[in-house]
């Protein structure tokens, strides 16, 4: 097989350059700052929603406690009123029994008062939880507005990259079409093995594909050999300058 011409080798290196730019553009698309920013806000919304769910559970518990206390206070109040009525309606005449009923009224009053103290604490807790819930909801609404803005910005940024990708793909087609078939085949096979990079160039005693510095003996041998060979380090194709 005849050595490829200098033009073909230049074209081969150009094709590699286009391939590398294509890979970079695809990576950038996956890793757009606008996309990352958007992902961060979406993540924040998820954690706000999680926090809100947790708060909901606490609030339900506190509200149930509130209702239970209110019911108990009502029942205790009714009991106290009934006992008081007995004190004054003449149904209790015996002084000892009277004392017992008075003591019962006092005990019930004390229990009511204790319940009311607890109820106050629970009401405060409910208030605090509701305020936190409102601020979580507000934070989520703000974040949702941000998502709208960021989505537009991400789509804009992606549009430029997608256009660039389209141009690069067309350029690759053009360059590949100009290369002799056998050279393109060798390049394609080498690129598949080499993680997308199929060819390097000997520059400053190193391979531009693997960037490994070569020994003087290797360099000497390469310079004395054909213009297209194989890198002794990474086994990719290597263009040796004349």
**Residues found near Zn ion in the complex (CB under 5 A):** 200, 207, 209-210, 231, 233-234
* Contact between residue 38 and residue 46 where contact means Cβ atoms under 8 Å apart: no
Q: How far is the CB of 189 from Zn ion (least distance, A)?
A: 16
Q: Give the three-class secondary structure for 102.
A: helix
Q: Give the three-class secondary structure for 78.
A: helix
User: Is the Cβ of residue 147 or residue 210 nearer to Zn ion in the bound state?
Assistant: 210
> Closest Cα to residue 163, out of 14, 28, 16, 17?
28
User: Is the Cβ of residue 18 or residue 197 nearer to Zn ion in the bound state?
Assistant: 197
* Contact between residue 198 and residue 187 where contact means Cβ atoms under 8 Å apart: yes
Bridge-based pairing state of the strands 228-230 and 237-239:
antiparallel
Q: Is 27 exposed, middle or buried (0-12, 13-18, 19+ CB in 10 A)?
A: exposed
- What token pair was written down for 197? 């990079």
Q: How far is the CB of 168 from Zn ion (least distance, A)?
A: 24
Q: How many CB atoms lie within 10 A of CB 82?
A: 11
User: Is the Cβ of residue 133 or residue 232 nearer to Zn ion in the bound state?
Assistant: 232
State the chain's maximal CA–CA distance in angstroms.
Answer: 130
Q: How far is the CB of 227 from Zn ion (least distance, A)?
A: 16
Q: How far is the CB of 209 from Zn ion (least distance, A)?
A: 4
Q: How far is the CB of 223 from Zn ion (least distance, A)?
A: 16
User: Is the Cβ of residue 25 or residue 207 nearer to Zn ion in the bound state?
Assistant: 207
User: Is the Cβ of residue 198 or residue 200 nearer to Zn ion in the bound state?
Assistant: 200
């Amino acid at each position: 097989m005849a050595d490829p011409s200098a033009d073909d080798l230049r074209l081969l290196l150009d094709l590699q350059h286009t391939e590398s730019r294509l890979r970079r553009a695809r990576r950038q698309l996956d890793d757009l700052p606008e996309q990352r920013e958007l992902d961060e806000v979406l993540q924040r919304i998820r954690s706000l929603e999680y926090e809100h769910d947790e708060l909901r559970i606490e609030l339900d518990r506190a509200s149930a406690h509130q209702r239970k206390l209110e019911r108990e206070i009502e029942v205790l109040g009714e009991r106290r009123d009934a006992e008081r009525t007995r004190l004054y309606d003449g149904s209790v005449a015996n002084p000892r029994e009277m004392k017992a009923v008075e003591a019962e009224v006092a005990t019930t009053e004390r229990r009511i008062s204790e319940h009311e103290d607890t109820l106050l604490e629970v009401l405060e807790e409910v208030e605090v939880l509701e305020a936190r819930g409102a601020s979580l909801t507000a934070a989520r609404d703000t974040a949702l507005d941000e998502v709208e803005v960021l989505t537009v910005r991400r789509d804009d940024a992606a549009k430029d990259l997608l256009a660039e990708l389209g141009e690069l793909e067309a350029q690759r087609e053009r360059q590949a079409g100009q290369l002799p078939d056998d050279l393109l085949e060798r390049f394609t096979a080498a690129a598949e093995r080499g993680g997308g990079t199929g060819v390097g160039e000997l520059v400053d005693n190193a391979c531009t594909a693997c960037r490994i510095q070569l020994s003087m003996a290797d360099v000497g041998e390469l310079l004395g050999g054909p213009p297209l060979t194989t890198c002794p380090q990474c086994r990719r194709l290597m263009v040796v300058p004349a």
